[in-house]
Each structure stands twice: as C-alpha cells, then as structure tokens.
Structure 1
Amino acid sequence: MIAVPLLMIAVPLLIPVSMLCLLLALGRYEERMLGPAGPEEAPDASDRPRLRAVPGASPGTEPLTPRPAGSETPRQAA
C-alpha cells in the first residue's frame, strides 16, 4: 500500500529529469554525427552572382523567333 503513494511522488519527479537527459544526449549525438562546423563562407563570395555564360551566344545575335500561331498542336478535351 505504501508503493502507490511513493510511485505517485517518484513518477512526476523522475520523468522530467529523464526527458531532459534524453534531449541533451540527442543533442550531443546530433553534433557528433554532423561533425565539427566548417569555416563560414567569405562574405564577398556569397555576394557574387553565380551566372555562367551560354556557349555560342554572342551579344549581337537575335533571339529565337516564336512558332507561328497555326503550328501549335491542338489539345484534346479531357
């Protein structure tokens, strides 16, 4: 009969502490799996545009012309 009141006191005291330990252990596990943090990227490298030139295109060429209106394939009704 004493076990029930003792259990009612022990459970609310032990569950939060055990959950805190579990969270701390998972955090350390995640840090260990991810490895050490690498050096951050230089700020000027991220500001540069990451565009590449298209091979064969020159500034003086005209853009491609669109298809004529009648050459499109008709859509079928669903």
Structure 2
Amino acid sequence: MSYRFAPQEVGGPGQPAWPLSPYPDGDYYLFLTEDFRIGSFGHPWEESLCLFGEALLDVAATELDKVLGLPIRRSGKAVGPA
C-alpha cells in the first residue's frame, strides 16, 4: 500500500492524522520526497529508522538523537564501540 501526502498538511490541529507512523511496527516504512533526495526508511526487525538527505539531517539529527538514542550507523558504517 502506498500514500501520497504533504507532511505540512497532516498531524496538526484541525488536520487529518498522519497515514502511518514513521517508525516501523512490523512492516518496512519508506517516506520519500518526490525527487528522492530526502527521506526515511524504517526497518521492522532491526527496529531502526534511517534518515537520509543533508537538509533533513541538518534539521532533525540532534533532536532525533535525544528521542531515539545514538545512531547505530552513519553512512552505512557502524558507530560507537565495536
């Protein structure tokens, strides 16, 4: 199943709810901009959320680290103690 929506038009007061949570709950979730430059990929078995696109990371990285904890990978490479 797929959805097309404008994020700024959902989830706020008087607006419809988001069609899905960005965090996976048994299915893979992929949110992309039309040009595929920015998005997120939710992996259900790993219980991880991958964000990509410099503009998104510049805005969201610090707050996401606070909410979700430290990243497990950056640019495909494991981070933290081995």
Class of the TM-score when normalised by the shorter of the 2 chains: under 0.3
Q: With the length of structure 2 as denominator, give the TM-score of the two structures.
A: 0.18
Flag the structure with larger Rg. 1
Judging by fraction of residues, say which structure has more helix. Answer: 1
Judging by fraction of residues, say which structure has more strand. Answer: 2
